[in-house]
Structure 1
């Protein structure tokens, strides 16, 4: 049946960490994800709607058009790092992420939330509150959740570019390994249920 063979979309919706900032697009973790999905013969296509410098407010304003364009069955939300680096309101950040989760779920997409940590120099109250935003939302909306998207990368000078923040080419496969176990569970389960 042609319908059964049609591919569903995985929409990666993030910031520079997913937009292959200052590295070749083909070597970014989202492109590596697309290749892995293909290698595993899973009926999905990966769309990357990540924008460098994006905040959760910017993401919220862009999401409806992206949902309409790609009609994804899975939305991977990777936003919040720029809110944290600018010390923006955690309440506003949480509200924006919550609305993105709601909009994605209302569009019949399953959400995967990628969590972030920020450097300790922002103070324990802000850094702990920042981390808790993702955990709280994943629990409330029962979304699959990667607690720290850059686990094993952040703080390693050999895995970031000169700015000390953005992952380099060497780090991209490691990012994929942080995300893949969570995503694979959904992809294989959904594929079995088809």
Structure 2
């Protein structure tokens, strides 16, 4: 019976040579990263490989499997490194060719901290996004949304149970938010237990 590493290597195309990208030929996640099944669990292929080469699984989310080649399915160890989210984003920004010195969007809105959404492809203006969304709703004949008195689960959106996001101003039900956070924490604890047992 083949080992996990042998099964992994069967799904890599190494035809580009030692310096080229080795694309994953098996199934992929939506973002294009390889999907590898091992020990009853689906793994991101390049992240699994980095963990195997190091002898210890990557500690997500502190440790990320990063590409030097910006090619999501690539599994060439020479193109991979372990980094944190900040280093990964800074690396992607550096290679994007975007002019990060811009102070205003094309429509003239200032790129202030409250009005800026930053991604690997550049800065995005929140005001332009809001205007675009409002224009779409007007074109479709959709009435402007007012403040909801209750959340989808029926909790009253009153002062004690209302969370307003400091940057976006989005209103959320605090009870539902706490429930989501407790579910997330429970899931992370279960994953940590699985990793310790593995």
- TM > 0.5 fold call: no
Greater share of helix residues, 1 or 2? 1
Name the TM-score, length of structure 2 as normaliser. 0.21
- The structure whose Rg is larger is 2
Using CA pairs below 8 Å that are at least 6 residues apart, which structure has the higher relative contact order?
1
Name the TM-score, length of structure 1 as normaliser. 0.22
